[in-house]
Amino acid sequence: MKHYSAFAVAREALRYHTGWERAWRSPEPKKRYDVIIVGAGGHGLATAYYLGKNYGIQNVAIIEKGWLGGGNTGRNTTIIRSNYLQDPSAAIYEKARSLYEGLSQDLNYNVMFSPRGVMMLAQTQHEIRGYQRTAHANALQGVKTEWITPERVKELVPIINLDGPRYPVLGALWQERGGTARHDAVAWGYARACSAMGMDIIQQCEVTGVRSENGHVVGVDTTKGAIDCDKLGMVVAGHSGQLAEMAGFRLPLEGIALQALVSEPIKPCMDVVVMANTVHGYMSQSDKGEMVIGGGTDGFNNYTQRGSFHHAEETVRALVETFPMISRLKMLRQWGGIVDMTGDRSPLISKTPLGGCFINGGWGTGGFKAIPGSGWGMAQLMATGHSPLTEAFSLDRFKEGRFIDESVAAGVAH
């Protein structure tokens, strides 16, 4: 792999950019790998990357049904924060956020991490108490957040309307070191680094079955033939249930649609991420100038990657009151992704009933921000059988009643 640098840009400028090479190889699958990861999204690629980097396991294949980063990694609103109430959540999201800070250097790929600050508006008395509690919890967890007044909100976000009749802004939980990153670049950067370590990224290859002997996984059947492995990692977000069924067990999660939309590009007007959980809306401005808007999930099971129009309407209707200037904006694109929701709205990173088979899923509406931490913990779990970062997120927590209840702590918009 050729190193990306300012020097490389200058060198290529002098020879008509003929020297750039493909960022990753697209090989045919080998007969056998030590580890197979199903799903070349952010979480799958990050898992493979840290398996190679932290544990020297480089005989790895990452199998992808479509194209890499084409699922929820390419469909989210790119928000990165770690202001969670529960300790296990704060730990893994803060690990992820801190890894994002150095990710561009680590991967030698610009993921455009922009720590512009994330603000979660309190618009009811209940939210004031909730966010103050979260701010105190974060102080104990070592996550830097603070409770700020409406005046400070207005300073940071001049376009906001503080005293809307239905949704007044009463304060906010502010995480200065949260922000956004370029979602595709995160997948591409990990893919390039994995490929450089000799891992095979096999796209357009669908897993059709999971083979096991004596309760231990031995390989997978795919549309490109059977591939053997010692360990299998399932990192397929919305389709976790289908893959688990192939492996012979069921999961405590359901797939529902979450949608987002972007406006036409406008001049810079808001340089922080604003989330308004009472009204299920959040908004940031991309580097291109588009206002990126996310909303609530549909309430019903759905695999179509498109959401209901009235949910987009509800989101925009509420945001227009808080940000009156966006009422004149045209919306350019709207899309949906399938998020896999667990009973307590926290992820699953766990061993499974099938030996040698691991699951990383159930990230629901909050997966993108967790990618580096999720990969770090999942790699540790797969390589050593135990990870302090992920042990609370095991499958048996539901049976044992050890919920990590973020549905109450974080409202709806994760």
Partner 1 sequence: MLTLHCPYCGVNADETELDAGGEAHIKRHGPGSDDNQFHDYLFTRENPKGVHLERWRHAAGCGKWFHAARCTATLEVFGTYPAQVYEPPQDIKDAISAKRPGWSWREFE
* Binding footprint of partner 1 on the chain (CB under 8 A): 239, 241-242, 250-255, 298-304, 308-310, 342-343, 398-399
Residue closer to partner 1 (CB basis): 215 or 299: 299
Q: Which of 45, 116, 36 is nearest to 372 (CA)?
A: 45
Residue closer to partner 1 (CB basis): 149 or 242: 242
Half-sphere exposure of 194 (CA within 13 A, CB side): 34
Residue closer to partner 1 (CB basis): 136 or 317: 317
Residue by residue, what is the 3-state secondary structure of 346-363?
CCEEEECCCECEEEEECC
DSSP bridge pairs for 391: none
Residue closer to partner 1 (CB basis): 225 or 299: 299
CB 246 → partner 1: shortest distance, Å? 12
Is residue 298 within 8 A of residue 313, CB to CB? The reply is no
Give dist(CA 335, CA 306) in Å, integer: 6
Is residue 119 within 8 A of residue 157, CB to CB? The reply is yes
Report the SS3 class of residue 218. Answer: strand
Count other C-beta atoms under 10 Å from residue 125's C-beta.
9
Residue closer to partner 1 (CB basis): 53 or 239: 239
Q: What is the DSSP string of 138-175?
A: HHHHT---EEE-HHHHHHH-TT--TT-SSS---EEEEE
CB 406 → partner 1: shortest distance, Å? 16
Could you give the angle at the alpha carbon of 197 between the alpha carbons of 191 and 198, nearest 5°? 95
CB 72 → partner 1: shortest distance, Å? 16
CB 351 → partner 1: shortest distance, Å? 16
Give dist(CA 209, CA 229) in Å, integer: 13
Residue closer to partner 1 (CB basis): 88 or 336: 336
Residue closer to partner 1 (CB basis): 192 or 239: 239
The torsion defined by the Cα of 276, 278, 281 and 286, in degrees rounded to 10, comes to: 10
Residues written for the chain: 414
CB 407 → partner 1: shortest distance, Å? 13
Tokens of 382: 């797969």
CB 88 → partner 1: shortest distance, Å? 18
CB 250 → partner 1: shortest distance, Å? 5
Q: Is 232 exposed, middle or buried (0-12, 13-18, 19+ CB in 10 A)?
A: buried
Half-sphere exposure of 39 (CA within 13 A, CB side): 25
Residue closer to partner 1 (CB basis): 70 or 241: 241
Count other C-beta atoms under 10 Å from residue 184's C-beta.
17
CB 84 → partner 1: shortest distance, Å? 21
Residue closer to partner 1 (CB basis): 118 or 312: 312
Residue closer to partner 1 (CB basis): 168 or 241: 241
CB 73 → partner 1: shortest distance, Å? 20
Residue closer to partner 1 (CB basis): 225 or 353: 353
Please list, in sequence order, all residues whose beta carbon lies within 8 angstroms of the beta carbon of residue 84, skipping any fewer than 6 positions away. 90, 93, 134, 138, 143, 406, 409, 410
CB 403 → partner 1: shortest distance, Å? 10
Tokens of 295: 């909303």
Is residue 270 within 8 A of residue 285, CB to CB? The reply is yes
CB 241 → partner 1: shortest distance, Å? 4
Please report, for residues 287, 356, 381, the alpha-carbon distance to residue 316 in angstroms, rounded to integers and kept in the order given: 21, 45, 41
